[in-house]
Chains A and B, each alone.
Chain A
Amino acid sequence: GAVVSQHPSWVICKSGTSVKIECRSLDFQATTMFWYRQFPKQSLMLMATSNEGSKATYEQGVEKDKFLINHASLTLSTLTVTSAHPEDSSFYICSAGIVTWAEYFGPGTRLTVL
């Protein structure tokens, strides 16, 4: 079946550095991917909608200059957390689909900022 992968699965970085997270659709093309953030024991919060070949659409309250999204191909979207701080520590998850855009979620990336 269709799979969405993420890389890395976990990352630890120092405060002030930037971290890039990749989301790939492995056997289908995804013109749209979604990026979510999830804090411990909480629900998923949509951060942005990533559109292939165009600018991402960010949810209210999400800093577009801090969370850079690039959807350069039909199988790859990247989320870059720039100048990361401890409060950016979270579980980041992407999703994509074929019939709907809600079908497949990636395994998530655990970001810890020291």
Chain B
Amino acid sequence: QQQVKQSPQSLIVQKGGISIINCAYENTAFDYFPWYQQFPGKGPALLIAIRPDVSEKKEGRFTISFNKSAKQFSLHIMDSQPGDSATYFCAATAGTASKLTFGTGTRLQVTL
């Protein structure tokens, strides 16, 4: 019940295209859903996060869509750029002071 399932494992998108990464969870106590971007050899960086009281959150080219009834959330990267090539992790936590449960990661490659 603590798992967060993430798909796809890897993704190749052309420059200018839309990258979509999906996550699903079981624990209904989760109330904070962040996404992280990680470049090789670096620590993860918080990209965008959402709480279940909204269905969508947008920050620049990055959008989280949240479906509470389906217990799913996804990251959309619009106008994908080669600089977006990285590994993306979704995560969830029950309470802001609680530990994170991470998805398995998606390796995104944006080609020219």
List A residues at the B interface (Cβ < 8 Å): 4, 6, 32, 34, 41-44, 46, 49, 93, 95, 99-108, 110
Stretch of B35-43, B62-70, B71-79 with 4 or more beta carbons under 8 angstroms from chain A: B35-43
**Residues of B close to A42: CB separation below 8 A:** 104-105
Interface size class of B (residues with CB under 8 A): 20 to 34
With an 8 A cutoff between CB atoms, is B54 at the interface?
no
Q: How far is the CB of B96 from chain A (nearest CB, A)?
A: 4
Q: How far is the CB of A101 from chain B (nearest CB, A)?
A: 6
When each residue 93-112 of chain B gets 1 if its CB lies under 8 Å from chain A and 0 otherwise, what string results? 10011111011110100000
Q: CB distance A44 to B89 under 8 Å? A: yes
With contact pairs A42-B105, A44-B89 given, residues A100 and B96 touching in the complex (Cβ less than 8 Å): yes
